[in-house]
A and B are shown apart, each in its own frame.
Chain A
């Protein structure tokens, strides 16, 4: 095995080494058991006191979701106006302008929903103030929102029958104080000592070796880069995200950033098992997710290492693999791994340009975001997975001749209805969004807009279609990566993806939490030999089949016209 592949294997193994104990810790910590981080309690009590929160107050699922929606609305309003008027606010050493209303609309939604689509460029589109007080702040809070929702969901299955699902605020605050903040601090310092800037100094200028005058954008980036990965946010300091040599200076930082974005999603899955005292269930879910990841990862690596067939025809050496849009210090193997990781866990940060990846890589990236639950985003990954699981529970429950039940609670029409709506939502948002975009592009290409629709696409043909499909898929998955060739900073894309993002975020959180809340309030049925257990290999296989079939059926035509058509055409 060459050193590049070895690097991939080592990174994944290191990820597990950290994520597994982290999962145990999270379960204990959220359950309120004794942990070594209890020394932070005074800090939390201070926060509760100032905020007027009583962390002992029990909420049901509706109250939890109300609290979630309220605080998220506050951030939306706050962030929208601050981004709009950032030019009039302090800490703007580069003198960057305020955002247009549509860009501000898109950006604030994008960061509140943990998507980080970034239709602006970090160097010129935001100030140090907004990078910190809007974007980085939302990095923390959006991740904590996802984690806290997942804990509310966990709580529903911890006891046999209950309607009190703990205190949303408590989970939210503890997600920050006991998980995100300490890990970010540690990681930011590692990054700082490996070349990522931390100071508030403004743009620099130097004269290069051959005499060019070069401007250098800088800024206190390390702190933001740490949380953007830990919180699976992905919104970077610089325009090209973690491909930027200051945002991701070396192979070491690359490894750290890769590990950082995976540990919480994996840990949350395992924490679920420890929290509800069903370790085997969590490991089964983890198994399905891992298999899913490898099924995406292996062909991705293979397709990138294979290089571009059109360039291969030109006779040059592609021994390393496809290099367009990639950095030499990472190489195609770990870049392919990154592209899989960032699309499965919905980080959306990139260390290579996805628009330039091979057609099949694009297919796997798209599929990863369509599934959106192979580990998935911070907290929300397991919630997304739960929807597939409920459908699997329902169909397989029927197949074994028993009214479907999950963990001792009957799954009935109301739960199936919610799961059905959430299942429906993704194809609806992705396909309708892409459909409208295609329609506008085809029929109103010359419309007199700021950016003519005809000029949206950086690449013609099937790849151009993929650019639009990718943008909508990424928005719906709250992923945030993009085929950046798409001219997306204009009213059409800012508004449409804004709407897709906001719907693609909150409904898939509320849905599973509602199902869990409803199930938790139902009578607990003890297991019998006729009960279908959710922690068996067979059921895992069933869930996996549901995930694959649902996504394949929903997206096959779109994928056939995008990456598949490009792949086969490139091949012939």
Chain B
């Protein structure tokens, strides 16, 4: 792909810069062991296939650098109250620098200029954090969008086919696609069936089938038709597809702060106000103590104290959350949805494809009483030789495994009987006159009884037993006489119960939705380790279940694809529609999964939690930093007139000037150092809320107290040489 090549190229260009960042980050990592590996997803390893995992690519860095300056516009800055006050401080310092050229009393112009410069950098760093997050998100979305732009579309106009550019397609337009065509835009198949290669979107190479009328009628722009011919109706206006909406969200135009972000902003603003009060009142206090304080010192103290670290990274964290969702191939319609995902209490999962791998496997052969096992097994194998379904193959595998058969090919001249919906059985007619049939219990019983034979009671009993154990029985007959039963079992995905364990530790209850009878459902639910199940589920059952849980105050997430899922998707707090699903489903949910992977919900929950955790831990880190900064700056302010306060200079910093300078340098550079953490997110560990709090409090709280002591001291050692 063109995209991928460009990226490889970029990676080389970006080598220098990213090396710098990575080495800085590894220092930080070393200092307080911040886990920075991306979240580990054990089942779906598809995501990130098409995306680069690099944090800083040269092109993006360039855009972000430019944006950092554009964002200095006070009208933009005011949205972030913390950084806005820093900007004001910077302006004041600019004035003080100019003033101190011709006047005395405010320190040297050079010193003031340096302070000004560092403050400016602080603001730029914060802007850069936001800009790089935006750029990454945008690049991610762009690369998805690119594939679908400017594709020629064969539009049906009054029964004739006209070729137009995809960008001119309007909602309601019809177009046709044939084998080899790229689908120009999102739409719904209204006629025909086709195999489609969706690898451009999902990274999954296996083609999928899409057809009109069902729940698999949706096609996505940029995917390729491999066979057949379809007629498609355009489902979105140009520029209004989910992807477009998401890009707008990332770019900030329509980005709205999420509830938690608003609350946190309020808290940070109040901390900022506290420090405004602290710094303003320090002036009369110092006058009382006959200690002159320069404006540079006051502003430095102020900037150090206000939570610039979290203030500077806050919006980057939010954007990165959406970006991480996108990297997992999930399009979110709002930032709030990602955040809500972190709060989910109940997860509704479809059985097939999520908990079990879609196919059942043969696990046992039960010949009728008195029957010979070898004969029965042979019959099973013969009947399955031409059966290409996974079930059929698994029968042969099992027989070989048991060593009960030596048949490897059908006798020459055999006639295979294919499975049809009417007969609900398949089989083989051998040249030596054996008519072997394999099928559902009632269809075989029909065959047997029609021929006037007695259907053995022990087989009937075995069939019931298998059903109640969550299996599916297949009865085999030869010449209209029942030979025995094959037990097929749903195969629970490997590792799924560990995942449910993980969810349980997060406090999320899992609910399996299945069309199976309650007995089977219960069996599978137990085996897979889900907490609850809805058996013989009808769409309204899902809806009712969601409503009941919500009435208890719980937040519910579900995944769906069909039109009949739409109401439930809309009702759920987090509704994830599969991209292959119908337009109605996609409209109703607040996320769309491009991979059509039902286990994606688990990842989404983790992304949501990560988002909140990153905000919380960086807030803690930011506030904890203030302790050390006080010990750097307060003695520096007063040492000249109150020598006894030297006792507070526990870091033993070189001079008052170097102490102040070191503190604000630390304050500035901690922002870019933490950008990678903000973008990648703090890892979520499902170890229970209290343990997680302990862990994060230890790393970011205690670490946040200690790190600046070391950092400021180190910077002071360097600055002390100059000042």
Contact = CB atoms under 8 A, between A and B. Distances in A.
B284 A442 contact: yes
Interface in B116-165: none
Interface stretch (B63-71, B471-479, B606-614): B606-614
A399 B620 contact: yes
Majority secondary structure of chain A interface residues (helix, strand, loop or mixed): helix
Highest count of chain A CB atoms <10 Å: which of B283, B288, B645, B693: B288
A398 B270 contact: no
A149 B643 CA distance: 48
Given A399-B692, A439-B284, A533-B689, A549 B623 contact: yes
A374 B403 CA distance: 77
A328 interface: no
B269 interface: yes
Interface stretch (A75-83, A116-124, A301-309, A413-421): A413-421
Contacts of B433: none
Interface string B644-665: 1111100000000000000000
Interface string A516-554: 000000011110111111001011011001000100111
A337 interface: no
Given A435-B280, A532-B693, A565-B645, A403 B259 contact: yes
A181 interface: no
Given A401-B610, A423-B270, A529-B688, A565 B553 contact: no
A401 B281 contact: no
A561 B289 contact: yes
Contact of A530 (B278, B282, B689): B689
Interface stretch (A10-18, A19-27, A86-94, A388-396): A388-396
A276 interface: no
B642 A565 contact: yes
A412 interface: yes
B75 interface: no
Interface stretch (B437-445, B491-499, B500-508, B714-722): B500-508
A539 B691 CA distance: 10
Contacts of B627: 549, 552-553
A561 B506 contact: no
Nearest to A530: B507
Interface residues of B, number: 76
Interface stretch (A43-51, A285-293, A341-349, A425-433): A425-433
A402 B343 contact: yes
Contact of A399 (B269, B284, B617, B648): B617
Contacts of B700: 399
B392 to A, nearest CB: 43
Contacts of A411: 263
Interface in B251-270: 259-260, 262-264, 266-267, 269-270
Given A403-B343, A420-B267, A533 B553 contact: no
B546 interface: no
A435 B289 CA distance: 12
Contacts of A434: 281, 285
A568 interface: yes
Interface in B587-633: 608-613, 615-617, 619-620, 623-624, 626-627, 630
Given A397-B612, A401-B616, A529-B507, 11 more contacts: A398-B264, A398-B612, A398-B616, A403-B260, A434-B281, A435-B284, A439-B284, A542-B697, A557-B285, A560-B638, A568-B648
29 contacts: A394-B264, A398-B616, A399-B617, A400-B692, A401-B611, A402-B507, A415-B263, A416-B266, A417-B263, A434-B285, A435-B285, A438-B288, A442-B287, A462-B289, A525-B554, A531-B507, A533-B690, A538-B694, A538-B697, A552-B630, A553-B274, A558-B281, A560-B645, A561-B289, A561-B642, A565-B289, A565-B644, A568-B646, A568-B648
Interface of A: 391, 394-404, 408, 411-413, 415-417, 419-421, 423-424, 427-428, 431-432, 434-436, 438-439, 441-443, 462, 465, 523-526, 528-533, 536, 538-539, 541-542, 545, 549, 552-554, 556-558, 560-561, 564-565, 568-569, 571-572
Nearest 5 pairs between A and B by C-beta?
A530-B507, A398-B616, A401-B609, A528-B507, A420-B270
